[in-house]
Amino acid sequence: MEKKNICLDLNNTVWEKESALGARYCKAEGVLYCHSSTAPDKQRLNIYVPVEYLNGDGTVNRSGRCGGYTAETAPILYINGIGLYLGKVPYKITEKDDTLAGKNGWYYDYVKQGYVIVFAGARGKDDLDENSLAVGKAPVGLSDLKAGVRFLRRNKDKIPGDTDKIISSGMSAGGAMSILLAASGNSDKFDYHLKAMGAVMDERDDVFASQAYCPITDLDRADTAYEFMYINDDNGIANGMGAFNKALSEKLFSEYISYLNGRNITVGGVSYTLGADGRSGSFYDYILGKFVSSYRAENDGPLPSFLSSLDTIVKNHNHRSKACPCFDSLFSGGEGASVECGVFGRMRSKPTDPDFKRHFSPSVAEQIAALKDRFQGEYDEYYKLYKAQSESEDVKEQVALYNPYTYLDEGKTRVASKIRICVGSMDSATSTAVSAQLALTLASRGIDTEYEIMWGQGHTDADREGEFIAWVNRISK
């Protein structure tokens, strides 16, 4: 096939035929998904389809077969490569890195399965327009990914694959995005950003399924969940935590217990709760059980004794890697600020502005206030800014739009029907409680949820060889 203009978009993308490692496919790279891009390198899709799915003239060959699918039935993998909430140009099929393809083979293997692969780029927290003003603060990354989904639906006659079987995937911040896409389908809360970027407005943006690796999510509560898990880890970074950090850790630990219990999570008649000590209760047992089955999936013989409690797990296997408070860090500005403070900066701020990064967690603010009597100096130093920034209307909205529970609790969106969450047993970029709570919440809403801790893996595309493909085939056929 010579290069054919498929007129998918504004920049006259063409399908080109290629083959590599036994996969034969046509690619359309650099497809712009919106009309008014402020980061034209990122707001694009790279699309790869099995060669059988296209006719020689570039039109869709509906009966074309590959793997177990046809051009009409093939699932569409919608993979974002977002990390650290930064902007991202879409992956290319030629890439094989630590994310996603690593444990699951080359992306070429997906072509051989008959999948349509769409790599989505998006703007992120540090992106600036030509005037050096921020264009990628929350909720822009998610809005961009939604625009890409809408674009696929608008062009479903020109792009092979079943747009009712869009399966999103991502790792870490990208895993959070994948969960958000799953939870927020067709929410009208994104209309402003979608219109502003010139996205397709009259198509749906829900996805059928979502794979999330190590999702860094529930950001405004993430500090409470982190201290719930790591409060008693007394090595490494924990040694650098002074009396104030430790006192704050205790406060956040306790807050997580009330928060989790207030979520009222019930699955299959079991209510998931924590005891007042945070080291008992059905939710605690659930997490511990997940670590045990994770070990069992890879090892025979007696269980190591450290698997008997969360405290021994974090002391022996999964160590604290961030000091308290780590998500909404004590300094919201400058070099000491966390990744997440950058996510909730003000749109159109300049990197030198004090609100390019902001505090966003009412939990951390509240617990600093609760320590006022004991730590007056720290209170005077930090509290005012935490409160002012985290309680400002636009931060509250940004935080809500980047929290999957906003959508799951409101019940107004079309939530993906299949969700697979995988984390590493040694991942300490966020608390295991975050993914456990999320998986149980999704299951409680009747969503077909698979949740697994992968033994010995860290903050990565935590998976076992072939299992992602097996899951995709299980839910798509």
- Positions in the binding site for ligand DHB (CB under 6 A): 83-85, 172-173, 216, 339, 429
Closest residue to ligand DHB in the complex (CB): 172
**Closest to ligand DHB by CB, 39 or 341:** 341
**Closest to ligand DHB by CB, 272 or 356:** 356
| Residue 149 near residue 51, CB atoms below 8 Å | no
CB count in 10 Å sphere of residue 251: 21
DSSP states of 132-174: S-B---TTHHHHHHHHHHHHHHHTTTTS-S-TT-EEEEEETHH
**Closest to ligand DHB by CB, 339 or 419:** 339
**Closest to ligand DHB by CB, 173 or 442:** 173
CA torsion through residues 209, 213, 219, 222, sign: positive
- What is the nearest approach in angstroms of ligand DHB to the Cβ of residue 86? 8
- What is the nearest approach in angstroms of ligand DHB to the Cβ of residue 84? 4
CB count in 10 Å sphere of residue 57: 11
**Closest to ligand DHB by CB, 8 or 214:** 214
**Closest to ligand DHB by CB, 180 or 339:** 339
The DSSP bridge partners found for residue 167 are: 77, 209
**Closest to ligand DHB by CB, 172 or 318:** 172
SS3 270: strand
Instruction: State both tokens at 191.
Output: 């209309």
Cα–Cα distance measured from residue 477 to residue 474, given in angstroms and rounded to the nearest whole number: 6
Count how many Cα atoms sit within 13 Å of the Cα of residue 128 in the half-sphere of its side chain. Answer: 10
Those residues with Cβ within 8 angstroms of residue 327's Cβ, 6 or more apart along the chain or in another chain: 219, 222, 223, 226, 338, 340, 361, 364, 430
Count how many Cα atoms sit within 13 Å of the Cα of residue 314 in the half-sphere of its side chain. Answer: 25
**Closest to ligand DHB by CB, 125 or 165:** 125
Residue 128 C-alpha from the chain's centroid: 22
Residue with tokens 């217990």: 257
Cα–Cα distance measured from residue 171 to residue 99, given in angstroms and rounded to the nearest whole number: 7
